[in-house]
Amino acid sequence: MSDLQNRYDFVLFFDVKDGNPNGDPDAGNLPRVDPETGQGLVTDVCLKRKLRNFVLLTKHSVPGYDIFVKEKAILNDAIDAAYAAAGIKLDGEDGGKGKAGKKRERGEGEEVDRARKEMCRRYYDIRAFGAVLSTGKNAGQVRGPVQLTFGRSVDPVVTLEHSITRMAVTTAADAEKLGGDNRTMGRKNTIPYGLYRAHGFVSPALAQQTGFTHEDLDLLWNGIENMFEHDRSAARGLMAMRRLVVFKHSTALGDAPAHRLFEAVSAHRRDANRPSREFTDYELAIDRGRIPPTVEILERGA
């Protein structure tokens, strides 16, 4: 059971310098860009991946904080384990009732509910983001209380292509073709600088269904603040979480529409006549006069 009683909406700002924050595999791994506006994009799936990795890193040995969608995971095996932990036996399994010699491979009714609760108890990302759990023995579907939007850059971004060299080859045959020079060429695509903005939501009503608690919520805020600190790579350049603005409503239903709260948060370049290359080139502001007095504003980050 969740102890969450308040609705939360939040805005997060992060930036990238000389890197590719989220490559598009359908476009040669180029940085994702809105073709009509030129603004850079980072998918919600990309952000959730970094949050999942942070939870694995910090809570890897704590019961109830495993991650369902992780590298090399076999999802149906996790559902099978939840059925076993909940003591659910399907027809034809050891101790299960057989029907006309046929094995019933999927749970039904109350079995699905029990398995879904067990999956929510075990996996943080299911409690938070939800999941489709009907691919195997069937633990139903979970709509998570935490939802994120795409990140979109405040201004249009420029994508650069760089030639890079490797002073080695893969095979002896490649070396022979190159006459012993062993120099190969490659490409690398980056964005010189981009400040991105994304939005998120926390629903206490859905938290009641998954068991997402205040402890889980604190881990979410901590993960958002630190998700780039443990996700370094040469391709991503310098990425940093710059500001997290959280709107805490006084009730579960909320005191104002989320879009009105988001519209009160703005980011503008200090000098529109020169390209931005640092976070200090921007000014972030909150128009507090547009925020209802019953909504508490919590700011985290630089």
- For the chain (302 residues), the mean pLDDT of every run of 10, in chain order, is 91 97 93 97 98 95 93 93 91 56 77 95 97 93 97 96 83 77 82 98 97 97 96 92 98 97 97 95 97 95 63
234-278 confidence digits (pLDDT tens): 899 899 999 999 999 999 999 999 999 999 999 999 999 999 999
Residue 159: CB atoms within 10 A of its CB come to: 16
Sorted by sequence, the CB contacts under 8 Å of residue 214 that are 6+ apart come out as: 3, 4
Q: What pLDDT sits at residue 92? A: 62
Measure the N-to-C terminal CA separation of the chain; round to a whole number of Å.
Answer: 34
Sorted by sequence, the CB contacts under 8 Å of residue 49 that are 6+ apart come out as: none
The CB-side HSE value for 133 (13 A sphere, CA atoms) comes to: 34
Q: What pLDDT sits at residue 296? A: 97
Q: What pLDDT sits at residue 102? A: 61
Q: What pLDDT sits at residue 97? A: 54
Sorted by sequence, the CB contacts under 8 Å of residue 12 that are 6+ apart come out as: 151, 197, 198, 199, 200, 224, 241, 243, 244, 245
Q: What pLDDT sits at residue 103? A: 67
DSSP for residue 258 = H
